[in-house]
Structure 1
Amino acid sequence: MSTTIRSIKSLVPLLDRVLVQRIKAQAKTQSGIYLPESSVKELNEAKVLAVGPGGIDKEGKRVPMGVAAGDRVLIPQYGGSPVKVGEEEYQLFRDSEILAKINE
């Protein structure tokens, strides 16, 4: 059974989930040399597209999220739940699985 999602904006994470899209590695060096696809690796860097409202602790209080939409984050190489919308690929992680927030 497959689900068709028409737009990524219609996907709203629940609880402490974070929807991210990996940032693609550059296929061209700073000096202008194009790299073959086999040598370009996936980056562990992603952009946060949407976040859930936060988990609930033992006392029933909402735990605030550590990241917000628009943040750049460091994510694990493996893990997360893949979501495909058209040709684009996204991933859902728990807030606690996000490794770091990248401040510019």
Structure 2
Amino acid sequence: MKFRPLHDRVVVKRIEAEEKTAGGIIIPDTAKEKPSQGEVIAVGPGGRDESGKLIPIDLRVGDRVLFGKWSGNDVVLDGQELLIMKESDIMGILTDASAKKKAA
């Protein structure tokens, strides 16, 4: 099934959190929090301002993003747990600095 969000909405797939801490302690499933990072799966066309002009979304499919703990609505599409949220619920895009250094 294909899904295209409307207006300034974004579909995000959560990225699972690490199962170990930096010190090597294994975290049991019952103590894990919902991850607040995800990958953008689909993006709507954008919102409209007061005059009706389309304001495009700054996100692209494949971007890794950081969002609030209780942001978005949980949905299941094609057996995948996804989040649908507004662009304003996303705090920022995560970039991989080590990959950029290797490319330079």
Range of TM-score over shorter length:
0.7 to 0.9
Q: Residue 84 of structure 2 corresponds to which residue in structure 1?
A: 92
Q: Do residues 76 (structure 1) and 76 (structure 2) align? A: no
Q: Residue 11 of structure 2 corresponds to which residue in structure 1?
A: 19
What is the alpha-carbon root mean square deviation over aligned residues? 1.9
Distance 1:32 1:86, change over 3 A: farther
> How far apart, CA to CA, are the structure 1 residues paired with 2:55 and 2:78?
33
Q: Residue 52 of structure 2 corresponds to which residue in structure 1?
A: 60
1:49-89: per-residue Cα shift (whole Å, max 9, x none)? 00000011111111010211100000110031111125421
Q: Name the one with the larger strand percent.
A: 2
> How far apart, CA to CA, are the structure 2 residues paired with 1:86 and 1:60?
34
- Aligned-pair identity in percent equals 36
Q: Do residues 50 (structure 1) and 51 (structure 2) align? A: no
Shift of 1:28: 4.4
Q: Give unmatched runs, 5+ long, in structure 1.
A: 1-6
Number of residues paired by the alignment?
Answer: 96
Shift of 1:94: 0.5
Shift of 1:97: 1.1
TM-score, length basis structure 1: 0.80
